[in-house]
Chains A and B, each alone.
Chain A
Amino acid sequence: MSQKNNERYSYENSLNLFARAAKIIPEGIYGHQNPAFVIPGASPYFADRAEGGYFRDVDGNEFIDFLCGYGPVVLGHNHPEVENAVRKQMAKGSCFNHPGELMVQLAEKITSLVDLADWAIFAKNGSDVTTWAIRVAREFTNRKKIIMAKGAYHGAHAWCTDYPGGVLPEEKENILAMNWNRIDELEKLTATHPGDIAGIILTPYHHPTFAAQEMPVDGFWKKIRKICDREGILLIIDDIRACFRLDIHGSHEVFGIKPDMICFAKAMANGHPISTAVGRDRYREAAEAVFFAGTFWFSPVPMAAALTTLNILETSDAIPKMKQLGMRLKNGLEDLGKKHGYNVTVSGPSALPYMTFDDDPDLYHIQVFCREMIARGIFLHPHHNWFICAAHTDADIDYTLKTADKVFPIVARELGA
């Protein structure tokens, strides 16, 4: 599969399929993949197949995939070694009464990779493990309250969702929120609720939707650790999104964080459904006390994918390559913005970049920019950070930048520079 030509894409099959879906599926497509979250009417809604750094939609449009399934695809779609491991396991079976040896091997692998990990448990989605981790913190401390950052995403469960539908006020009453990078607010919360805070759950850096990503300010994580130690609070890192994309030992190594527990998911099995939470030995007893189960969580198939993916990430140049490609994209887009009279910022780690126009608080510019890039075969999300995978190439970045050079003037024509 390779990216297509210079035609402007259209999406009739996606739209027709969506009309069918809307009749029998609430919202047609629900959650973060709902069309309203991207560019309604001007982006693909349904995918057909994917290979390497590309995907094809149901209209036959081909795209350079800078969303990578919202992050899980780290080595490239349909990676031969990973899929070979998956097929081998599939031939032996995928749903047993018992876990397979692969679960032990995978736990051994993860505990050997992640410095603080004395143990690991497995589930399927990020929400499974973040929700379990805060319960472990409560069990360990015998306290109720959890602090999170405003605008952070830890899943769709009642305690952390922004949406009120079906959520009781009681389910939120022990969740406190601070603004990212605001140690003073954290201090205030700990002073207001002394001896009542079980855990703080934070992402290694802030990656809200609809806004630029924010790195931690100097000394942020040291101060957080100090406060946690002083107050007896567990520090849980939600590394679901970046996962092993930035560092094979976890993003906390990049940012100098010393967590008590870490949750991983997206970039650990190259698209196969698995998540994990790891922790220090002192929390094992509390972990054992918090019942945790899911019908499909012991499936050896994603475990086979995870073991292979982690081995490849560990032994290949995939991680530095993603960093380098992302840096080229970042620098190229920022330079092109200037050339066309815009100040644009590509924020976040280079392997998970996100571009914003500096004078675009209402998002009109980024929406037109992404709409036009998508129409030319480059899938960039207007409201969510992007992902580089190891299958992307310098040629993909060249093509993306060449296309952006044509698209910036379109934005200017439509909205003014």
Chain B
Amino acid sequence: MNEMLKASIYLKGILPLMEDLVAFDQTAAQAIKGKRLILQFEIKNGPSAHIIIRDGTICHGTGKHPLPSVRLTFKTPDLFNRMFEGEDVRPGLRKGIPHLYFLIKKFPILADRLTYYLEGAGKNATDPAVIDFQVKIGLHAMLCGMAAVATDDPDLRNIADSTPFGTLLINVLPDGPFGTFSKIRQNGNFIFSVSFNQPVKHANAVMEFASADVAKQLIDGKLNAVTTIGLGKDIKIGGLLPLIDKASIFLYQFDKVINN
């Protein structure tokens, strides 16, 4: 297992879900109530990301923030991954002693609530609002995870190179959520980017789920995407299929890394 890739996926694919979590879950919202800080995660010789906690919201960003309130540094990606998976790991605290209480007592609440919806008892919820939320964070994780793998997996560099430029729109009918995974040109090279519930000007390829229920089944691993597409009803695809083809390779790898 490539620990650095896993760390990248956690930082770029899972950490962004905190944004959605505090907007939906009361317990999580309570945990950050009144807090105002910028929490930065850094892995030595590896990826970094930060979250900005302010006014009851969380905003995720990749890379280092110029003025973090707290800097958590990890000597190895393995240490970060173990912490992310709930083990009692002490990162280096470079900055932010005044926020120690929040880090020890409140931040784990966010992680616990996310786990509740993704893997815990909340996974079997029947409340439509919870299901909609799970679809939302599931789709968000898929998109961010695909981009993390496409950007950082050394074994899939050839696949990233040969991925066609363009935007794949993934949409849940009838009312969303929806998001995009794009390969775009930048400074003579390319990057992978995602958007979530933002207006889409043109999609080069489209994947549509017939309902939130179908999307949830796929996210929960209860539905095989390839055969469901073949059945022609619950998941429809169209447009630039090579883009969908490559995105599905990144998605498969994302799933493999976080479940191993």
Contact = CB atoms under 8 A, between A and B. Distances in A.
B240 A41 contact: no
Interface stretch (B70-78, B189-197, B223-231): B223-231
B230 A28 contact: yes
A28 B227 contact: yes
Given A162-B162, A164-B249, A367-B238, A362 B227 contact: no
Nearest to B233: A41
Nearest to A150: B162
B231 A36 contact: no
Nearest to B246: A162
Interface string A235-265: 0000000000000000000000000000000
B236 interface: yes
A41 B155 contact: no
B224 to A, nearest CB: 7
B236 A41 contact: yes
A116 interface: no
Contacts of B162: 150, 162
B241 A210 contact: yes
A12 to B, nearest CB: 11
B158 interface: yes
Contacts of B158: 164, 172
A367 B162 CA distance: 22
A363 interface: yes
Contacts of B240: 210, 361-363
A130 B226 CA distance: 29
- The size class of the interface chain B forms with chain A is 20 to 34
B230 A40 contact: yes
Most chain A CB within a 10 A radius of its CB, from B227, B231, B249: B227
Interface in B95-131: none
Contacts, number: 72
A34 B155 contact: no
Nearest to A29: B230
Nearest to B154: A169
B173 interface: no
B118 to A, nearest CB: 25
Contacts of A41: 230-233, 236
B204 A361 contact: yes
Contacts of B227: 18, 22, 27-28
Contacts of B233: 41
A18 B227 CA distance: 8
Nearest to B165: A361
Contacts of A29: 230
B56 interface: no
Contact of B242 (A18, A35, A163, A210): A210
A36 B236 CA distance: 9
B229 A40 contact: yes
A163 B249 contact: yes
Contacts of B224: 22, 27
A292 interface: no
Most chain B CB within a 10 A radius of its CB, from A36, A41, A45, A162: A36
A224 B77 CA distance: 48
Contact of B232 (A15, A362, A364): A15
B166 interface: yes
Contacts of A362: 166, 204-205, 239-240
B37 interface: no
Contacts of B226: 27-28, 34, 36
A35 B236 CA distance: 12
- The size class of the interface chain A forms with chain B is 20 to 34
A19 B242 CA distance: 25
A162 B162 CA distance: 9
B156 A35 contact: no
A169 B155 CA distance: 7
A42 B239 contact: no
Given A40-B237, A363-B240, A364-B239, A15 B204 contact: no
B159 interface: yes
A364 B238 contact: yes
B48 to A, nearest CB: 27
A172 B159 CA distance: 13
Contacts of B237: 36, 40
A36 B155 contact: no
Contacts of A164: 155-156, 158-159, 249
A383 interface: yes
Nearest to A42: B232
Contacts of A364: 238-239
Interface in B125-164: 155-156, 158-159, 162
Contacts of A162: 159, 162
A41 B166 CA distance: 25
A117 to B, nearest CB: 34
B226 to A, nearest CB: 5
Interface string A5-30: 00000000001001100100001110
Interface string A127-171: 000000000000000000000001000000000001111000100
Given A163-B249, A164-B249, A383 B241 contact: yes
B230 A36 contact: yes
A35 B241 contact: no
A367 B158 CA distance: 27
Given A27-B227, A34-B226, A363 B239 contact: yes
Nearest to B253: A164
16 contacts: A18-B230, A19-B231, A22-B227, A27-B230, A34-B226, A35-B230, A36-B237, A40-B236, A40-B237, A41-B231, A162-B159, A164-B155, A210-B241, A362-B205, A362-B239, A364-B239
For the complex of A and B, 3 pairs with smallest distance between CB atoms:
A41-B232, A22-B227, A35-B230
Given A18-B227, A29-B230, A172-B158, 9 more contacts: A15-B231, A15-B232, A22-B224, A22-B230, A27-B227, A27-B230, A36-B241, A41-B232, A210-B242
Interface of A: 15, 18-19, 22, 27-29, 34-37, 40-42, 45, 150, 162-165, 169, 172, 210, 361-364, 367, 383
Interface of B: 155-156, 158-159, 162, 166, 204-205, 224, 226-227, 229-233, 236-242, 249, 252
